[in-house]
Amino acid sequence: MPRPTGPALMEKLVALCKRRGFIFPASEIYGGINGFWDYGPLGAQLKNNLRDAWWRDMVEVPPLGPDGEPLQIVGLDSSIIQNPKVWEASGHVGGFNDPMVDCRESKRRYRADHLHVFLPSDGEGPGFAFVEGEADTALSKIKKAKRDRDQYRVTPLLSLDPAAYAGVIGPDTKEPGSLTEPRQFNLMFQTYVGATATQDNLAYLRPETAQGIFLNFKNVLDSSRVAPPFGIAQIGKAFRNEVTPRNFIFRSREFEQMEMEWFCHSSEAVKWFEFWSQARLQWWKDQGVQAERLILRTHERDELAHYAKKGAGTVDIEYAYPFTEPGHGELEGVAHRSCYDLTQHQEHSNKKLEFFDPQTRERYLPDVIEPAAGLSRGVLVLLADAYDLDESRPSPELLRLKPSLAPVKAGIFPLTKKDGLPEISDRIFRELRERYVVQHDIKQSIGKRYARMDEIGTPFCITVDHQTLEDQTVTVRDRDTGYQQRIATDKLTPFLAEKL
């Protein structure tokens, strides 16, 4: 059986995540809450490992620049709730909207830009709307109407005059005319700061981590020994009241971002935009994500965000998700934000945010190149990319995660519970746990223990057997190949150090 694709792969993945403790629906015992997810013991560890890899490669050891010199990037951890004026200045209060369409009949709400319609080429009969990537229901409705797919062309709902919606059947209904005109919908979650819930106390949960960086640009400049070109990086939660959260953790209402704002002189912005686009694509490949499932896609002019209208543009790093393949969906965006955000904050706050270059005696607001990645979406990519089936194993499911990202690095097992083997494996466990996340497991058959480790992506299984009593060696089994080699117990730490 080959590795499943499409919805079948998603089903397997979601089931594995639940069964093994990677990801659970939030508030599950109360029936869940749409668009929110909890990370279980293994999911939290996997997410931390990805977060740590990003922080290390961006902040602690940033890459070498185009001239071979180490780049300067510093870290930041700003508040989720900021002065609400921030979001007016950033354009989010006015512009952070998705057009949405309601269905009067099914009461469901859709992102208008996610809806497409099968329109009859001959104008005979209704059109059939569907959510991007979910054409199947519409196709079966066409079949039921005793018509042929070839008699229809596909067009975005937004390209139709709303008057024509009267002749369109919604994705979840049988009769035409239930879709409303698109309306704007602000994606920011609101809350109140302080004891009273009045308009004066209204505040927002941040919809992106980036603004916290712009707000602290001057603080960092004045307190750290940095000067453009340099970066400020931040990892943290972001909240968007998405109209249609879907595809597991791909589009959720609470998620984590890993963003870096790279401040540079406008004359160098194009150079840095190209540098970061390539560097970030390469980084995902370095995390073990298969190169042929990743693409760089340049945004069309008309889909650019409000801040990216001028300048070098935006490029997305996209992955072939099970629900988009053979197409791709966004994993990270690299945007040239020009000096939009700093200009806005300077105007709205009335505080000078300019950088003074003592060498050229130029005073300016730097341009910004922003690589913005989803940490939660990254976890989905790692899981989907690593999922595989190996029919030669009794339990064929395995996650081929990059060893350094795997939540558990090694499973340590005594072959049997007798003859002092558990005592030896316990000693090995106690030694290795000082440096690595490892698990000691003495229950069940060795095959079952291997299978469990394969399923959670553990790269190595260390087994203590009777030969260990004679020559102090153990077998080390490789997850991907099943290959077993004997290694002296005192060589295990250097072995893992090399592999991880």
Give the interface with ligand ATP as residue ranges (CB under 6 A): 208, 240, 242, 251-252, 255, 257, 330-333, 372-374, 376-377
331/462 with CB nearer ligand ATP:
331
Nearest to 170 by CA among 133, 137, 122: 137
Closer Cβ to ligand ATP, 189 or 364, answer by number: 189
Nearer to ligand ATP, 366 or 378 (CB): 378
Residue 80 near residue 205, CB atoms below 8 Å? yes
What DSSP element (H or E) covers 314? Answer: strand 314-319
Q: What whole-number distance in Å separates Cα of residue 302 and Cα of residue 151?
A: 30
Nearer to ligand ATP among residue 208 and residue 261 (C-beta): 208
- For residue 417, the minimal CB distance to ligand ATP (Å) is 45
Rounded to a whole number of angstroms, the minimum distance from the CB of residue 367 to ligand ATP is 18
Radius of gyration of the chain measured on its C-alpha atoms? 26
Least distance from ligand ATP to the Cβ atom of residue 323, Å? 13
DSSP strand pairing (254-264 vs 230-239)? antiparallel
Half-sphere exposure of 126 (CA within 13 A, CB side): 22
Q: 166 — phi, psi (to 5°)?
A: -60, -25
Q: Are 336 and 312 in contact (CB under 8 A)?
A: yes
Could you give the CA distance from residue 300 to residue 314 in angstroms, rounded to a whole number?
9
Toward ligand ATP, which CB reaches closer, 331 or 408?
331
CB of 20 to ligand ATP, least distance (A): 22
Q: Min. distance of Cβ 228 from ligand ATP in angstroms? A: 23
Give the shortest CB-189-to-ligand ATP separation in angstroms.
12
- Helix, strand, coil percentages, rounded to 5, for the chain: 35, 30, 35
Q: Which is nearer to ligand ATP, 179 or 258 (CB)?
A: 258
Cβ-closest position to ligand ATP: 374
* 396, 384 Cβ separation under 8 angstroms: no
Least distance (Å) between residue 245 CB and ligand ATP: 7
Closer residue to ligand ATP, CB minimum distance, 127 or 245: 245
Q: Which amino acid is at 403?
A: P
Q: Which is nearer to ligand ATP, 242 or 341 (CB)?
A: 242
Whole-number minimum distance, CB 84 to ligand ATP, in Å? 19
Annotate 424-458 with b (16+ C-beta within 10 A) or e (fewer): bbeebbeebeeeebbbbbbeeebeebbbbbbbbbb
Question: Across-strand partners of 131?
Answer: 115
